[in-house]
Structure 1
Amino acid sequence: MKALWYAVVAALALLSASRVFAYPQMTAHGYSSCLACHVAPSGGGLLSAYGRSLSREVLSTWGAENEEAVLHGAVPASEVLLLGGDIRALQLFMRSPYVDLGRFIWMQADLEAGVRLGDFTVVGSLGYQNPTSANYSGSSFFSRKHYVLWNFAESNFVRVGKFEGAYGIRWPDHFMFVRRDLSWDEGSESYRLEWAKLEETWQLIASLSIGRPDAPQLQTEKAATLRVAKYVGENHQLILSAHYALRSTTNRFVIGPSAVFTLLDRLSVFAQVDFQQAATFGFLEYLRVNYEIHQGVHLYGMQELSILDTSSVSSAKLAYTLGVQWFPRPHFELLVGLRKSTSGSAATGATDSLMLLMHYYL
């Protein structure tokens, strides 16, 4: 029964995984700061005009002039009104000794807009929330994020509202152990106050979260989060992150280093290690290698380990993923991933997953 439970949980986690438009692979092209492409200091969500141009010139295999603009150029560009949104669908196949399933699911359908008023930017989104989300708030129609951003000095930003805190390498894949097992699953945005100091060779992002007072049934933790990153050259990053949270049961503290290295022109390595002290002491890590074989076409391999209780072998989880990610033209992303994972004792058998992701951004 325990093995069946693990397999079902894994299936639900993959089905509910939603992605935020943010791609750490851009570090290989010299764009270490998320602000180079996004409105938010920690990345994700609305793209700036420069970010849209990079989506055609750097991220995509092909692209015509002005194709990267909202609705392929049908909406005139504006420095005041920023528009965006995401539509994502997943075809998932899973097989284990206890589960054999195939399912198509709409993951996300959001519209997002921002208005720039001098040094202030107001951002909000409206869209669909999957009922299988680990943080389902009771309605399929919701606002994933909304905040006010104040650029009060050249490299200083203050943000207040509902959004995700900055921790580690900002991968959008919520099925990763370092996200799901550390309670940063889909829908983990909370109300927080954030300060970001973004310099040319380093950045610091600190935030305080009051949880989800709008959805008390979720019992979302209240937390302080810190992320410090040092840029080494144009294509490397060293990061240290920490997170202390107050919970209704046991408080927790998470800390860990992460790093991004570009070894060759198109070969990048991403690594992260996290230690968690909660009711038990836990250890998590992953190593991801990404190779861009042609502009917009990425091959990647990833190894993950999660041990939420180092005193118990049954809490150990291991996964290996091989995949291809392709950005054929601006607004489009396609991904195929093969994942093999094990939970607890090897006698429970492995779970094999095939993920086919389709993503369109406005």
Structure 2
Amino acid sequence: MRQLVKISFLIGAFLVSKQAVAYPDFIGYGYSSCITCHYSGLGGGALNDYGRALYASEFTARHVYPSTMDEETIANTSGFLVDKQLPWYFRPGIKYRGLYFQKDPNGSTEVNKWINMQSDINLNFFFDKKQKFALITTTSYADKYPPYTSIKEWDWFEKEFYLRYKQSTNLWWYAGQMDKAYGIRNADHSAVNRFPYQDVHVDQFGQSLGVIAHFTYPLWDIAINPFFGNIYDKADLKQQGVAITGEYQVYEKFKVGGSFLASESQASKWKLAAFTTRMGLSKGSSVMGEFGLKEYTNKSANTEARLGSYAWVQSLVAIARGYNLLTTIEHSKDDIDHSSAEILKYGVGALMFPLPRTEFRVGLTNGKTTTDGQGTPDSWTFQTQVHVSY
């Protein structure tokens, strides 16, 4: 109960602040469904033609274009070959995301490091002109990769590959290796709701073989996802289970939802449950959050289940077209019934789209860790990030 009170206080303080209007997702522009811009109905991955056009004509700063160029012309230059049409059956894409960070800036334990976070080649194929049946693939380069896989560094691997079938306007099917249907797919893969470096990971390496049935209607949608493990996971860490996620539109630009995941490997068992919300506050400004519980059982050590909690709230204020203020609050505790470390992080920065096909992020994060009332010195991290998509 004490943890829930703390989390509720943080959420309340964040939402009532007039300075905390946010833009973590495009619901502030009225785009509440991910299928509008992505090949995946649950978001993430490659952009479709409409998503590329929106990126150029609505989210990228206007001052980089001649004043005589109208928005339709800008949108028409967003293709892989700029303004030249590709065959209807093929859409390629290239994505790169790099991160430079300083930990403990100007301190005795200062660390400076560049990380290649994402190096993707998307090859997407369609078997009919209406794109009812498609093959979506992403090949990635492994500069770094978690130790729970068989992938070696400095190697190419198949990050995702799945068949997509539109049975009707209200039912989409996906089958293959893809992201699990759980929670909010925010871009920060180190956030507490993305569970980095754990064998149940739902971060950028969280793809799994499986099937998704996605039911989508104007006011609600739900996705059911039995999964069988990533093809690169080590045998004893291959998680198999089911994930379910869904949202309901309470009113325009305001959605509430929930997610559940249960999975098990030879080494561990996981149960996750979360409440999610997304709200558009003005054009380009919105707020979203994810608040959940995570139950972990170490089967190898034959220990009792450990119940933890997490909360994540992110906002983005639209300052001007292409320039936004980004703020984040995160809370995590691995065991709410016993003594364990409690982590609280605050982040503030900027998310910018100053040039076509580019994204820049800059931010400062403060972290606090306490155990049984005993705290450790605050940690500070300064990050800059560049994302190029073509």
TM-score of Structure 1 vs Structure 2, range by shorter chain: 0.7 to 0.9
C-alpha distance in structure 2 between counterparts of 1:134 and 1:325, whole Å = 31
Code of the aligned partner of 2:238: T
Number of aligned residues: 339
Letter in 2 for 1:290: L
Question: Are the aligned partners of 2:24 and 2:315 in contact in 1 as well (CA < 8 Å)?
Answer: no
Q: Tell me if structure 2 keeps the 8 A contact 1:60–1:296.
A: yes
- State the secondary structure of the residue aligned to 2:82: helix
Question: What SS does structure 1 have at the residue aligned with 2:282?
Answer: coil
Answering whether residue 384 of structure 2 is matched by residue 356 of structure 1, we say yes
Instruction: Please say if 1:168 is aligned against 2:183.
Output: yes
1:234 shift after superposition: 3.1
RMSD: 2.1
Q: 1:235 to 1:60 in 2, by over 3 A?
A: same
Equivalent residue in structure 2 for 1:149, among 164, 171, 174:
164
Aligned to 1:85, which of 91, 94, 101? 94
SS of residue in 1 equivalent to 2:26: helix
Provide closer, same or farther for how the CA distance between residues 311 and 33 of structure 1 changes in structure 2, counting only shifts above 3 A. same
2:174 maps to a residue whose letter is R
Residue aligning to 1:138:
151
1:283 paired to 2:293: no
Unaligned runs of 5+ in 1: 1-22
Asked whether 1:34 is paired with 2:31, we answer no
Q: Is the 8 A contact 2:126 2:134 kept in 1?
A: yes
Q: Give the structure 2 partner of residue 203 of structure 1.
A: 221
Contact 2:230 2:238 in 1 (8 A): yes
TM-score (norm 2): 0.81
- 1:65-109 deviation digits (Å, cap 9, x = unpaired): 233111534x52443211112111111110187732001222222
**Is the CA contact 1:334–1:357 (under 8 Å) kept in the aligned structure 2?**
yes
- Counterpart Cα distance in 2 of 1:45 and 1:342: 32
Shift of 1:132: 4.4
Task: Find the partner of 1:340 among 346, 360, 366.
Answer: 366
Which deviates further from its counterpart, 289-298 or 265-274? 265-274
Residue from 66, 79, 95 that aligns with 1:69: 79
1:194 and 2:207 are equivalent in the alignment: no
**1:225-253 CA deviation, whole Å, 9 max, x = no partner?**
00111123331111111111112234221
Q: Separation in 2 of the partners of 1:198 and 1:98?
A: 53
Aligned-residue identity in percent? 21
* Alignment counterpart, residue 285 of structure 2, candidates 267, 281, 298: 267
- Which structure 2 residue ranges, 5 or more long, are not aligned? 1-22, 297-304
Q: 1:128 aligns with which of 141, 151, 155?
A: 141
1:24·1:170 contact (CA, 8 Å) conserved in 2? no
Q: Which has the larger radius of gyration?
A: 2
| In 1, Cα distance between equivalents of 2:263 and 2:108 | 35
TM-score of the superposed pair, with normalisation by structure 1: 0.87
Which deviations, in whole Å up to 9, do the C-alpha atoms of 1:318-355 show, x marking residues without a partner? Answer: 10000100011331000001111123445321221111
Q: Is the 8 A contact 2:285 2:318 kept in 1?
A: yes
Asked if structure 1 preserves the Cα contact closer than 8 Å seen for 2:24 and 2:314, the reply is no
Deviation at 1:311, TM superposition (A): 2.8
- 1:320 maps onto 2:346 in alignment: yes
Q: What is the aligned partner in structure 2 of residue 185 from structure 1? A: 203
Runs of 4+ in 1 over 6 A off after TM superposition: none
Match of 2:270 in 1: 252
Deviations 1:137-160 (A, max 9, x none): 323210111111111122211111
CA distance in 1 between partners of 2:272 and 2:341 (Å): 18
Choose 106-115 or 60-69, whichever is displaced more: 60-69
Match of 2:115 in 1: 105
Which amino acid in 1 is paired with 2:102?
F
